[in-house]
Amino acid sequence: MILLVLLGLFAGLSLIAIGGVASTLPAMARAVVAHHWMSAPQFAALFGLAQTSPGPNMLIATLIGLHVAGIAGALVATLGMIGPSSVLTVVVAGVWERFRAARWRLVLQAAITPVSGGLILAAALVVVRAADHGLRAWAITLAVMLVSLCVRLHPLVLLAAAAALGAALF
């Protein structure tokens, strides 16, 4: 049952999405290719599409679900991605409040940022590799990255420019 497979995949990713959904992108890319749902470049295209929509960056899960099993797949994948982590958050929120000044809480909080930082850098490498085949794609990625780091522009402006360059160059 394809919907159950989708639910299981994203529910599992939901619980290991340390620092946010971004850190699970490599695992997600690996899973969709292993299931023969799509190729790595197709995954990169869906990721690009998800980035052009407003909202949190977990929408890539919605698009994978849609590609695999239509609207039902989209909803099931979304539910899987947010369900387990939301339940965990609601349960832990009460405890967290009570230990506002506890040293273990400060230590845990400080410990999580370098871990998620490294995971997200690795995820960026995987996404870049999936998206970029050939010199021109690498050039677009590098240009968008540098402009985004140096200038404050709306992300949609950069994405539109990248799509226009793609249509013109490829």
Partner 1 sequence: MTAESPRPSLAALFSGFFVAGLSGFGGVLPFARRIMVERRGWLTAAEFSDLFSLCQFLPGPNVVNLAAAFGARQRGFAGAMVAIVGLLAAPVAIVIALGTVYERIGSIPPVHHALQGLAAGAAGLFAAAALRIAWPAARLPARAAVVGLAFALFGVLHLPLPAVIVVVTPLSVFVAWRQHR
Task: Give the residue, chosen from 4, 8, 39, 56, that forms a contact with partner 1 under the rule CB under 8 A.
Answer: 56
Identity of the residue numbered 72: A
- Site string (4-23) toward partner 1, x via CB under 8 A: ----------xxxxxxxxxx
C-beta separation of 33 from 104 below 8 A = no
Query: How big is the site for partner 1, counted in residues (CB under 8 A)?
Result: 103
Of residues 135, 146, 101, 119, the one with CA closest to residue 17 = 119
Nearest distance, CB of residue 156 and partner 1, angstroms: 6
In whole angstroms, what separates CA 81 from the centre of its chain? 11
C-beta separation of 57 from 50 below 8 A = yes
Q: Kindly tell me which of 4 and 112 has the beta carbon lying closer to partner 1.
A: 112
**Region 95-134 residues binding partner 1, contact defined as CB under 8 A:** 96, 100, 103, 106-128, 130-132
Residue 1 engages partner 1 in binding (rule: CB under 8 A):
no
